[in-house]
Structure 1
């Protein structure tokens, strides 16, 4: 490339490696950069959330009822394989 345009619209750059980020293993780039806060606020504004009285805090990987209880917000399910040697 010879030129980058639109750079005046960028106020910061966040580099993300594969090292753990945040306070919990469920942290991800959206939670780390704060973008997920805005997403949770949008979820709070949905008609379904209003009917149920859900606030933004309900839409969290760390809250029972707001996360998948099968994986507890981890995004994967770990299955014990105790029968293996």
Structure 2
């Protein structure tokens, strides 16, 4: 994955991000030689977000299937949380 230095980003701005994302989906931004951030185009972000939501849905369904879910009213939920 290509890295954009903080200095390059400061001097070239968004053009440096555009160049880095021309041939790949994401790029690191490095600060003082250390990779600190990742930039990506919106399509890649949205795809990853959908994957994250699907994983959370899968996990919730698995917990329900395993009997780990609790069905209760809002009032019961608040009382249970207060006791923790």
Shorter chain as denominator, the TM-score bin is under 0.3
More strand per residue: 2
Q: Which has the larger radius of gyration?
A: 2
**TM-score normalized by structure 2?**
0.27
Q: Which has the higher contact order (CA 8 A, sep 6+)?
A: 2
More helix per residue: 2
**TM-score normalized by structure 1?**
0.27
